[in-house]
Amino acid sequence: MIPTENIVSPRTEAAGFMSASVGRLAPDFSVQAYDRTKDGFTHVNLSDYQGKWVCLYFYPLDFTFVCPTEIVAFNDAVGEFTNRNCVLLTASTDSVFSHKGWCDSHPDLANLKHLMLADTNHKLSRDYGVLIEDAGIAYRGIFLIAPNGIVRWLAIHDLPVGRNVEEVLRVLDALQTDKLVPCNWKKGGKTLN
């Protein structure tokens, strides 16, 4: 279990300001990744996905308790993201070897269909404003990046709280309408313009 009581502040002076923000160009990255579908390692740049939506979500650590529930839920929805021209990527400060070891040892992660980014130097987490500097791990940050590279939506959760994949898909659907949508809108519902 991740000890949350010893973590002082979501953003310390050392962490600086959050550079990934809504309406701005998402920070590019160039990182190693574990590809479970090929049981191998690859290199990934955000620019590789130009022209597609990207859902990038961070989690604190491999070999933990809440994290696999989220990863499995996102993995179960890979087809839903693909149908929306959206690439799903996950990241933590663990190495690609740790990612592989975790997938090898955890039966629920055996069929992972999306890439696990390795942010071992913490640059990716820092650039996206989710790094807990003192702990060397990331908050549960999630970012929807438009095909033109602009961050359109983000959310950052504290460590013990898992996310809702249906809400991420709902927001993605809303953003893809390019219209005004009311509170609690769902795909197929009326827009405001």
Specify the residue for token string 């438009």: 146
Rounded to whole angstroms, the Cα distance separating 135 from 115 reads: 24
SS (H, E, C) 8-34: CCCCCCCCCCCCCCCCCECCCCEEEEE
| Catalytic option among 67, 86, 103, 183 | 67
Residue 167 parent element (H or E): helix 165-177
Q: Does the active-site annotation cover 67?
A: yes
Tokens of 57: 């979500």
Sheet of 151-157, strand order: 40-45, 30-35, 115-118, 86-92, 53-58, 140-145, 151-157
Give the residue numbers marked as catalytic: 67
